[in-house]
Amino acid sequence: MNLTDKIQEINRLCNFEWSLEVNTHKSFHSSIEDHNFPHFNSGNDTIPIELQKEILNKEICVCLSLYPSNSVGCYFVYHYDLDKALDKALKILSNESI
């Protein structure tokens, strides 16, 4: 599945808003870690430590916010690779619709 197909499938599976942000920290002249706190909080398991290290090492942060079934409950997907972030989002949304 190409990127366009993945985005179309996310649109189909998300009944509410979803957003994609890449390197938002740069607009705030902030580090990736500071900008995405508390998701980068070492005591929080939202982002596995190894993935956090890769995001920080590559200085690329892709973030998807997904609201699949209502405007309150959401999922956050972080990665350094857009394609992998979309794959993870599709996996979450597919499990949500079961």
pTM of the model: 0.86
Other residues' Cβ atoms within 10 Å of the Cβ of residue 17: 11
Q: What is the pLDDT of residues 22-78, one digit of tens each?
A: 999 898 888 888 887 777 776 666 788 899 899 999 999 999 999 988 878 889 999
pLDDT for the residue 43 = 66
Instruction: Let me know if 27 is exposed, middle or buried by CB neighbors in 10 A (0-12, 13-18, 19+).
Output: exposed
Q: What is the pLDDT of residues 78-88, one digit of tens each?
A: 999 999 999 99
pLDDT for the residue 39 = 76
pLDDT for the residue 48 = 87
